[in-house]
Structure 1
Amino acid sequence: MHPATSPTAGTPAEPSHRTLAPRRRFLRGLVAAVVAAPLLFGAAACGDDSDAGDGKVKLSIFWWGGENRAKLTEDALALYTKKNPNVTFEKTWQANQGYFDKLATLTAGGNPPDLFQIDDNYLSEYAERSTVLDLNSYSDSGKLDVSKFPKSLLEYGVVDGKLAGVASGENTQGLVYNKTLLTRNGLPEPTTGMSWEEHIAWAEQVTKKTKVPGTQDPSADYKAFWVWLRQQGKDLYKGKDLGFDEADVTRWFELWKGARERGATPTPDVIHEGNASDVTKQLVVTGKAATSWVWVNQMPDLKKNTKDELGVVAYPGDPSGQWARAAMYWSVFKGSKNRDVAVDVINFLANDPEAVALLGTDRGLPSNLDLRAKVSETATDPAMKQSIQVETELAQKFGQAAQVPIKGHSKVKSELVKAAENVQYGRITPAEAAAQYVAACKSAIV
């Protein structure tokens, strides 16, 4: 119903640290309203045609993404209706920006969708407020078949013991590098398992030989910080609190301060460009760095924007620091009168061979491992095949799933950018930035 205006189809665009605070307060107020009037929402939920005597159901469904995702999703839903003629869909989709504002507005206004797309920025917040349906009983009964899911991928949808969302696909962190540049200059490719110091030393040599900075500075990238923390025996979160302290953040910032001083990374203005750009303009494809820190499933989008051959490996350090991350989830509104049908649609999108083939890897690599293998066999896009291959290899080395991020996660991410860039530009020391960052994070998660 709402055509997207943005070509991107990944995680919703992250608002800047300058606009996030009022937006967070806005969202909290809207989502809090759900708790205040649960009975109203249960009665007014969209798609309650199940009360009709003819047994027909109109299920409301809401997601974000670009036009390509919309077409793929609509094709898969049409296939569901073909196989289940009594079920039709009220489909709403929009561009990334503003999606969660709209979802909160719909929910607080008593007109929530039965089924909606969500990500790990907000899953805990919606689950803790009892906005989403606990899907454990459906998985226990077999009505929602998650038996072919990697264990850690399934666990990454659990909040306080409740299955709050089902992964629409799997993803993990990926270090993408310009293979053409390295080959042309007789340089070795990075490898999975190299230490962080080894990666920085490798990047320093790339800079010296090619005059292209060897690696984007990821000190502002929460994905890299999170993996590094897990390799130190820490985590981004521990229960309802942070899993790290000022000393950890200081060490992280000092690591990359040293890398910048050695010339392993670009200059601060170019680093900022990489921090602020979407996946299509990452430094590895604009030629301003030999590597970028992204998600593995973004390889096809990156490849579309460069003529060079790209490679991808795990982030540096022990690869068990990485895990099967849900690219995004499907969740069901707790008050929906069509909850059983909504769960059946999730089950269909995850486990029907035709539906999974239609959707491909748009929302991450298929969660069902058997069907993922079939998609890999039939994929014609080399970058997509490469993404699946790398993810499959890394899956053998994944560690235990991280807990789903807690309330305030978006602010934790954006404040890291602010703190890291203050260090990158030399405005404050790593220790000063770490103190400011931890204080901002503690405020965000209260």
Structure 2
Amino acid sequence: MPPMEMRPPQLRMAWWGADYRNSLTFEMIEICEAEAGVRISPEHTDWEGYWDQLATQTAGGNAPDIMQMDDTYLREYADRDLLMDLSDVDLSAMDEDAIANGYTEEHGQVGVTTGINAMAVLANPEVFESLGRDLPDDTTWTWDDFHDLVVDMTEELGPGAYGDAGPVQPVSFQLWLRQQGLHLTTEEGELGFEPEDLAAYFEQELQLVLDGGYPSAELMQEEGNKLPGETMFEVGDQAMARYWSNQMTGVSEQSGVDMVPLRWPSTSGTSAENGLWFKSTMLWSGSANTAHPEAVQSFISCLVNNEEAGLVQGMDRGLPANENVREAVRAGLEGQDLIAAEFLEEIEDDVNAQVPEPVPAMGSGGIQEVLRRYSEEVYFQRMTPIEAAEAAHQEADRHIGN
């Protein structure tokens, strides 16, 4: 009898995203199934549903072989020995920072960066033009400049419109800390700030509410619950807002306005001290319990290194981390995708002048909710900045297990 033909291993692959990402990912899967010699069983859902589902799957010993990962949760899963070391994935075309985003001393290369992005202050040029204002010089502006601009524009725009509608957490605080030479969490998995640091940040943000630059606490709370396309910024009632660079194209499409990305203000007025860093838009990780570790690494290697797959993905998972794929994708970009890529190129010297951000500590996902909740306590003036900071610090410390 002739030998039985070996069937390629079947791997489960999970990711979060909307319909557009799903369609791109299916195309990438088809390319990489052929290259890696595997069959993929896809699982996809939205952001919140994804993490609930992954927590249930891992708790039951039923994790997908390949999973899309966010750096906020990377150490949380790695420290529970749920992620495999992807040391056999070819990372030769990635820079050191992109590689380090998925590496821990204890567990090795537990994540492979899909692409990079950075936080930007998006400006609506039509709002600035309506007031006869130029966009700010984002290489020199300070937080004092930002405060004055937001307050003045809110006054000039009139009722129902604002210069800015407040920060996003935890990244706004994270960037502010980086400008002070601090971090949200340290390499050792501890909080990287003291209550006094958070209190100073709360005071800065509260002053923008008290001076009439930001909306009322009630309206800020409402904004946080709005769906994409419905926010004040997207309907033209807000001059500036903070987004990740890979979100700019979607925001521009929702609003019908080509938004302009700006560097964040700094304490010193020097862009090399603005705290910006290249974040992994997301990462690919493999299950430590997979029955096919070699196949998992081969497939992930294709996802990040295959030029055809990279051209399909484009900028959806950030500016590609593989520099050869990045060059190929960059050559075909246009419109807001091109502007987002150019912004990342413009801030490269700023980023390189600063210390990379440590991989978030286990439990860092809970810090986002802590900061959001205590920010509201400050904005509603139910707690003073130092009272809120001390309570938030204590609660955040519990989240990371200290």
Deviation by residue 1:22-45 (Cα, 9 ceiling, x = unmatched): xxxxxxxxxxxxxxxxxxxxxxxx
Q: 1:156 to 1:191 in 2, by over 3 A?
A: farther
Relative to the length of structure 1, the TM-score reads: 0.82
Distance in 1, matches of 2:258 and 2:99, equals 33
Residue 189 (structure 2) aligns with: 240
Deviation larger for 319-328 or 407-416: 319-328
Matching residue of 1:60: 12
Give 2:156's aligned residue: 209
Query: Counterpart of 1:188?
Result: 134
Deviations 1:77-135 (A, max 9, x none): 11123345x42111111222221221122223232211111112211011111111112
Distance 1:319 1:101 in 2: 38
Where do residues 19-58 of structure 1 align in structure 2 (5 Å cutoff)?
A: 54=6, 56-58=8-10
| Cα distance, 1:430–1:383 mapped onto 2, change above 3 Å | same
Alignment of 1:154-193 (within 5 A): 154-161=99-106, 162-193=108-139
Gap change, CA 1:153 and 1:125, over 3 Å in 2 = same
- Calculate percent identity across the aligned residue pairs: 27
Quote the residue 1:324 is aligned against.
278
Q: Distance in 1 between matches of 2:319 and 2:6?
A: 38
Cα drift, residue 269 of structure 1: 2.1
- Structure 2 length as normaliser, TM-score? 0.91
Partner amino acid for 1:261? L
Q: How many residues get paired?
A: 386
Q: Give 3-state SS (helix, strand or coil) of 2:135's partner.
A: coil
Question: What is the alpha-carbon distance in structure 2 between the residues aligned to residue 87 and residue 308 of structure 1?
Answer: 43
CA distance in 2 between partners of 1:423 and 1:226 (Å): 18
Which of residues 395, 406, 430 is equivalent to 2:348?
A: 395
Q: CA deviation at 1:389?
A: 1.1
Cα contact 1:357–1:375 (8 A) shared by 2: yes
CA distance in 2, matches of 1:326, 1:362: 12
- C-alpha contact (below 8 Å) 1:280/1:301 kept by paired residues: no
What CA distance in whole angstroms lies between the structure 1 residues aligned with 2:239 and 2:219?
A: 13
| Higher RCO by CA contacts (8 Å cutoff, separation 6 or greater) | 2
* Structure 1 portions without partners, runs of 5+: 1-51, 139-143
Paired residue secondary structure (2:260): strand
TM-aligned CA distance change 1:296 to 1:191, over 3 Å: farther
Question: What amino acid is the match of 1:310?
Answer: M
Partner Cα distance (2:344, 2:227) in 1? 22
Do the aligned partners of 2:154 and 2:162 also contact (CA within 8 Å) in 1?
yes
Deviation at 1:319, TM superposition (A): 4.8
Pairing 1:123–2:68 present: no
User: What is the 5 A alignment of 1:336-355?
Assistant: 336-355=290-309
Go from structure 1 to structure 2 and tell me whether the alpha carbon gap of 1:172 and 1:272 turns closer, same or farther (over 3 Å shift).
same
Letter in 1 for 2:90: D
Matched-pair contact (CA < 8 Å) for 1:178–1:290: yes
Query: Hey, what's the Cα distance between the residues in 2 that align with 1:369 and 1:418?
Result: 39
Are 1:231 and 2:231 matched, yes or no? no
2:15 aligns to what SS in structure 1? strand
Superposed counterparts of 1:275-424, under 5 Å: 275-317=224-266, 318-320=271-273, 321-380=275-334, 382-398=335-351, 399-424=354-379
Separation in 1, partners of 2:6, 2:258: 56
**2:34 aligned residue:** 82
User: Cα–Cα, structure 1 residues 201 and 123, in superposed 2: closer, same or farther, change >3 Å?
Assistant: same
| One-letter amino acid matched to 2:264 | Y
Task: Using the TM superposition, name which of 241-250 and 58-67 deviates more.
Answer: 58-67
Q: What letter matches 1:363 in structure 2?
A: R
What is the deviation of 1:305? 1.5
How far apart are the structure 2 equivalents of 1:133 and 1:147? 19
For residue 281 of structure 2, give the secondary structure of its aligned residue in structure 1: strand
Structure 1 residue 413 displacement after superposition: 0.7
The answer on whether the counterparts of 2:114 and 2:283 sit within 8 Å (CA) in structure 1 is yes
- Deviation, 1:177, is 1.1
Residues 278 and 191 of structure 1, relative CA distance in 2, 3 Å threshold = farther
Pair 1:70 & 2:22 matched: yes
Given the superposition, is the C-alpha separation of residues 393 and 150 from structure 1 closer, same or farther in structure 2, using an over 3 Å criterion?
farther
Q: Residue deviations 1:369-414, cap 9 Å, x none?
A: 232232122124x111111111121123212321111122121111
Q: Deviation per CA, 1:273-322, whole angstroms, max 9, x where unpaired? A: 33333553443213332111111110011011113331111221145511
Structure 2: how far apart are the matches of 1:93 and 1:232? 39
Distance 1:445 1:82, change over 3 A: closer
RMSD: 1.8
